[in-house]
């Protein structure tokens, strides 16, 4: 009897192992099919396809950015800390006249740094020797260099604008926009998100300049509108996700990263992971809306994709967390709509027919004080905090609204009536 039970148990276990092996084998064999489907959907699937190929070396911004990195890291620690502090204060509109003069002094002390930033901003493309995987140290330095360079330019642009040098301010902000375009040289949601973040920061800086030049409302309206054109079309969620499969597939090909280095048949399980992750990717990517303003539709798809991935063995963590793309896109769209409403108000003095707030699906909100009008979005938490400005620092509140502060402008009808 005991022998029969042992044999039966071995048979059941062997059958289960055989079934699991066949099931996994079918998934691994399907990788080629899913790769072909990804190509039909217009997605790259190899790192080589993500590379930026620059025919004219003179157009490659990488040498300039390497120079920026070398010059930044050569600045003594104390001086660099002061520069970062002045930049933060400038971007947040809290720099005094003395602070602005200190910033100008630092800029004058480092002409090669700002010349290299300007040169990089004038290049039409940017390449890197290796596409970003998720841990590449050199590329982390590369993206950090762009971000820090943009912030230095933004602080300089705000300072010039607050000192009423609007021509100089606009020229510097244009360098900032052009520099941010290098974030999306390789199409990946990580780079797209960085590009969105750079635009959001610059929109806040434009607000500071507009408010500092209250006596020129019509000129400031044009100032805002020129930059909205310069930013170009908003990316859709599909745009942001299009370049992810090569990075995911490359990660699954790295035994150390996948944790399969010491697992028997680890290569086989990596193949299973690739086919499974790509299957999820293809299925949900087909459903992503191409319309950049269809955020609700994209959110539904990405949350479903994320949920399935978390519950799936072998490859879940490689498709995990992509529903976080949507808040960044909502912030970017909210900032654009605030800018559009601000330009209209500066021209007409009217606050009617405000655009929809993508965070609430209701019209943008307004608040009037003795000296200003504030247009605002409720932000990511969807709660109206009565035009509460974002705080910074270790004790900063996590709740805030997205603001565009404007000078008081009399309605055009009143102005025309007096004349």
Secondary structure class of 361 (helix, strand, coil) = coil
- pLDDT band, very low/low/confident/very high, at 9 (cuts 50, 70, 90): very low
- Cα–Cα distances in Å, from 166 out to 39, 156, 206, 216, 219? 47, 12, 11, 11, 10
Q: Which residues pair with 374 in a beta bridge?
A: 367, 405
CB atoms within 10 A of CB 225: 17
Closest CA to 238 of 295, 198, 177, 182: 295
> What's the pLDDT at 14?
38
Pair of tokens at residue 132: 């970003």
Element (H, E) at 404: strand 402-407
> What's the pLDDT at 349?
92
Mean pLDDT of 91-106: 84
Most confident of 20-29, 123-132, 140-149: 140-149
Cα separation of 222 and 218, whole Å?
A: 7
Question: Who wins on pLDDT, 85 or 220?
Answer: 220
Tell me if 99 sits within 8 A of 89, measured CB to CB: yes
Sheet of 365-368: strands edge to edge? 365-368, 372-377, 402-407
- Cα–Cα distances in Å, from 236 out to 98, 131, 291, 297, 340? 42, 22, 6, 11, 19
At residue 406, φ and ψ (nearest 5 deg) are -130, 155
Cα separation of 402 and 390, whole Å?
A: 8
Question: Who wins on pLDDT, 43 or 3?
Answer: 43
Q: Which residues pair with 406 in a beta bridge?
A: 373
Cα separation of 125 and 366, whole Å?
A: 40
> What's the pLDDT at 229?
93
Q: Which pTM does this prediction carry?
A: 0.87
CA dihedral over 4, 8, 9, 13, signed as positive or negative: positive
């Amino acid at each position: 009897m005991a022998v029969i039970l042992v044999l039966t148990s071995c048979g059941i276990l062997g059958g289960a192992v055989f079934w699991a092996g066949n099931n996994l084998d079918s998934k691994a064999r399907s990788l080629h099919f899913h790769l072909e489907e990804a190509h039909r959907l217009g997605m790259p699937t190899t790192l080589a396809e993500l590379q930026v190929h620059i025919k004219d070396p003179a157009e490659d911004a990488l040498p300039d950015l390497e120079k920026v990195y070398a010059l930044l890291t050569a600045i003594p620690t104390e001086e660099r800390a002061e520069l970062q502090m002045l930049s933060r204060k400038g971007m947040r509109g809290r720099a005094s006249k003395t602070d602005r003069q200190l910033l100008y002094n630092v800029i004058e002390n480092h002409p090669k740094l700002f010349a290299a930033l300007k040169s990089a901003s004038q290049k039409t493309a940017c390449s890197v020797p290796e596409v970003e995987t998720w841990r590449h140290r050199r590329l982390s330095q590369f993206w950090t260099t762009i971000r820090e360079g943009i912030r230095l330019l933004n602080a300089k642009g705000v300072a010039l604008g607050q000192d009423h040098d609007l021509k100089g301010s606009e020229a510097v902000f244009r360098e900032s926009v052009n520099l941010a375009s290098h974030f999306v040289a390789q199409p990946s949601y990580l780079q797209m998100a960085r590009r969105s973040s750079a635009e959001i920061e610059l929109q806040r800086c434009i607000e500071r300049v507009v408010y500092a030049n209250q006596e020129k409302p019509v000129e400031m309206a044009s100032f805002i509108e020129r930059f909205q054109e310069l930013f170009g079309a908003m990316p859709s969620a599909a745009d942001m996700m299009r370049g992810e499969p090569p990075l995911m597939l490359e990660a699954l090909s790295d035994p150390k990263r996948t944790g399969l280095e010491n697992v028997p048949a680890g290569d086989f399980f990596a193949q299973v992971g690739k086919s499974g992750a790509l299957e999820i990717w293809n299925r949900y990517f087909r459903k992503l809306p191409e319309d950049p303003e269809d955020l609700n539709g994209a959110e539904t798809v990405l949350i479903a994709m994320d949920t399935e991935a978390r519950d799936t063995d072998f490859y879940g963590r490689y498709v995990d967390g992509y529903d976080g793309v949507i808040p960044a896109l909502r912030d970017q769209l909210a900032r654009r709509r605030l800018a559009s409403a601000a330009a209209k108000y500066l021209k007409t003095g009217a606050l009617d027919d405000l655009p929809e707030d993508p965070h609430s699906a209701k019209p943008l909100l307004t608040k009037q004080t003795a000296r200003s009008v504030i247009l605002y979005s409720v932000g990511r938490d969807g709660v109206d905090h009565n035009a509460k400005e974002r705080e910074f620092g270790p004790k900063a509140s996590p709740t805030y609204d997205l603001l565009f502060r404007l000078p008081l402008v009399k309605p055009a009808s009143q102005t025309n009536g007096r004349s």
